[in-house]
Amino acid sequence: MKNRLSLQLKWLHQAQFAGYYVAADAGVYEAAGLDVEIRVGGPGVDPERAVASGEADFAQGGGLESVLAGRAEGLPVVAVATVFQKTDVVYIARQRSGIRSLADFAGRRVSTWYTGIHLILRAMLKEAGIDPAAIEEVVQGGDMQPFLDGDVDIAAATFYNQLPKLRAAGIDDLVLFDPADHGVVIPRDPIITSERLADREPKLVGRFVEASLRGWQHAFDHQDQAVESVLRRDPSLDAGLQKVMIAEIAKLALWGDGTAIGLGYLSNDALRFTNDFLVRNGQLPPDVTPETAIRMDLWPTD
């Protein structure tokens, strides 16, 4: 008898979630005795709250920073693996804007997503000696048109989606502010679940994590097949962009510990850095216990 589980995605169908599609299509979940319902996300979806409320068994969350922020609010969520080993979002400006450093953000209109990356932005600014209140922070929507129209000076962009789209459109006059270039390396898109499920059904959680990571590895090893799985969910997607997307996602997933230790691994060092960086810069309260935010005892070791 298979265990029925639900996985909440944080956004619409695309290669950002290809590993789960492949795990389903290639029979990896079935072989693990799992029947996984993959739920599409969107603008109104909060993956941490969906898991904390019991609405979903698992989710692909915002980032390690959003897990810590959720726990600071009392949400009983834990990360059991991660898809990206480094921050997948950069902030971008046009060269003609004159913006060349974080100091130049002051007095500018900056759009950002509120998936946790906004906490990283604010902490980066404060670490650089800039009061986050010195920027005009606005909500970023689903496309880059406000940035292209000049309505915002600086916008968020992912390595795998917005950046390739802009470059394909011939927009190459971009100044990139990659958190890693400022010493900020925070794992993102973690696989999260509730403390309750992790404590009561550790073997079941472990089976889901292992099967999901097998799906991700298969997606990286067979990227054309991964794109086919993506297109099954939404045939209207641009196949060329999805190919670029899965290649860029593989780089983020296999970066650092993703290769040195294993796909999906979350290190205590990354956890401590994330917590200390956000606390030091006023984006998390100091009374959060970071060690309880991840459960690497449920990560597959073989």
pLDDT, tens digit, for every residue of 205-220?
999 999 999 999 999 9
- For the stretch 97-107, what's the b/e string if a residue is b when 16 or more beta carbons lie within 10 angstroms of its beta carbon? eebeebebbee
Backbone angles phi, psi at 150, to 5 degrees: 85, 10
Average pLDDT over residues 94-113: 97
In 3-state terms, what secondary structure has residue 104?
helix
- Measured CA to CA, the distance from residue 224 to residue 107 in angstroms comes to 45
On the question of pLDDT at 35 being above 90, the answer is yes
Residue type, 280: R
On the question of pLDDT at 44 being above 90, the answer is no
User: How far lies 194's CA from each of 1, 21, 68, 98, in Å?
Assistant: 23, 22, 13, 45
Average pLDDT over residues 166-181: 96
Q: What is the pTM of this model?
A: 0.95
- Measured CA to CA, the distance from residue 125 to residue 178 in angstroms comes to 13
Judge whether 47 and 269 are in contact, CB under 8 Å. Answer: no
Average pLDDT over residues 184-188: 98
On the question of pLDDT at 302 being above 90, the answer is no
- Measured CA to CA, the distance from residue 124 to residue 120 in angstroms comes to 6
For residue 256, what pLDDT is reported? Answer: 96
User: How far lies 136's CA from each of 125, 139, 146, in Å?
Assistant: 13, 10, 14
Largest CA distance in the chain: 62
For residue 171, what pLDDT is reported? Answer: 95
On the question of pLDDT at 301 being above 90, the answer is no
Q: pLDDT band for position 8 (50/70/90)? A: very high
Architecture of domain 89-182: 3-Layer(aba) Sandwich (3.40)
Average pLDDT over residues 283-287: 93
Judge whether 111 and 156 are in contact, CB under 8 Å. Answer: yes
Q: pLDDT band for position 43 (50/70/90)? A: confident
User: For the chain, where do the domains classified as CATH 3.40.190.10 start and end?
Assistant: 3-85+187-298, 89-182
Residue ranges of E strands in the chain: 3-8, 34-39, 58-60, 77-84, 89-94, 109-112, 136-139, 154-158, 174-177, 188-194
Average pLDDT over residues 267-271: 96
CATH (one of 3.40.640.10, 3.40.50.300, 3.40.47.10, 3.40.190.10) for 3-85+187-298: 3.40.190.10
Q: For the chain, what is the mean pLDDT?
A: 96
On the question of pLDDT at 20 being above 90, the answer is yes
Burial class (CB in 10 A: 0-12, 13-18, 19+), 246: buried
Q: pLDDT band for position 9 (50/70/90)? A: very high
For residue 94, what pLDDT is reported? Answer: 98
Nearest to 115 by CA among 155, 67, 51, 161: 67
Average pLDDT over residues 96-117: 97
For residue 15, what pLDDT is reported? Answer: 98
Average pLDDT over residues 136-163: 96
On the question of pLDDT at 16 being above 80, the answer is yes
Average pLDDT over residues 226-246: 98
Share of the chain above pLDDT 90, in %: 95
In 3-state terms, what secondary structure has residue 250?
helix
Q: pLDDT band for position 63 (50/70/90)? A: very high
Backbone angles phi, psi at 136, to 5 degrees: -95, 100
For residue 287, what pLDDT is reported? Answer: 86
